[in-house]
Amino acid sequence: MSKVLIFFAEGHEEIEALTVVDLLRRASIDIDMVSITGNKRVPGSHGIMTVCDKLIETVNFDNADMLVLPGGMPGTLNLELCEPLMDQVNGFNVSGKGLAAICAAPTVFGKAGFLQGKKATCYPGMEKDLLGAQVSTDEVCHDKNIITSRGLGTAIPFALEIIRTLKGETEAERITKSIVFRQ
């Protein structure tokens, strides 16, 4: 079974994060909501309190197949400032393991140099931070081990691409139909 970790910082974009969690759980993908704040209760950018499954200090990264970074402000900046998280993100990139980010969060990968020559997208107006990327306006870009997406309005296609990557087209199509998305 695939294992995904999604990270919650103060100021995360609630819909982007929780859409991924919801759809991956519907696809029977093991996903843990991980707080980087030292508290399992993490306030989002719109004042919605999210209760995470784990704290970053307790996570076993060795069992994870993919790390997911939701966007939002200042959530994205807080993720980027979390040294233990960035150490793991760097390690995942070096090993070619899955990385996914939506909205402002793909800029974390860009600033780290992960997007050199790769097709990527992000929230409109933040493209300058996709350093070295072949910038796209597609809803979702998937290039090698990295999946990026534009924002709240693309959270469903983003989650479906993660499902497609981990469980295949048949499962992604099943979830698409079950949520009555683009039928």
Position 39 in a domain: yes
Position 45 in a domain: yes
Q: Which domain holds residue 55?
A: 3-104+158-178
Position 139 in a domain: no
Give pTM, 2 decimals: 0.97
Position 90 in a domain: yes
Query: Does 24 score more than 70 pLDDT?
Result: yes
Query: Does 183 score more than 70 pLDDT?
Result: no
Position 132 in a domain: no
Q: Can you tell me the mean pLDDT for 26-47?
A: 98
Helix (H) or strand (E) holding 41: strand 41-43
Q: What CATH number is associated with residue 83?
A: 3.40.50.880
CA distance linking residue 20 with residue 33, whole number of Å: 10
Q: What is the CA angle 86-125-67, rounded to 5?
A: 25
Query: Is the pLDDT higher at 90 or at 181?
Result: 90
User: Are the beta carbons of 41 and 63 closer than 8 angstroms?
Assistant: no
**What would the pLDDT profile of 41-85 be if each residue is shown by its tens digit?**
999 999 999 999 999 999 999 999 999 999 999 999 999 999 999
Position 110 in a domain: no
Residues 6+ apart with CB under 8 A from 1: 28, 29, 30
Position 43 in a domain: yes
**What would the pLDDT profile of 65-75 be if each residue is shown by its tens digit?**
999 999 999 99
Number of domains in the chain: 1
Give the residue numbers marked as catalytic: 103
CA distance linking residue 30 with residue 21, whole number of Å: 9
- Nearest residue to 76 (alpha-carbon basis) of 130, 140, 142: 130
Position 40 in a domain: yes
Residue 182 pLDDT level (bands cut at 50, 70, 90): confident
Q: For position 131, what pLDDT does the model report?
A: 97
Q: Can you tell me the mean pLDDT for 151-155?
A: 97
Q: For position 1, what pLDDT does the model report?
A: 77
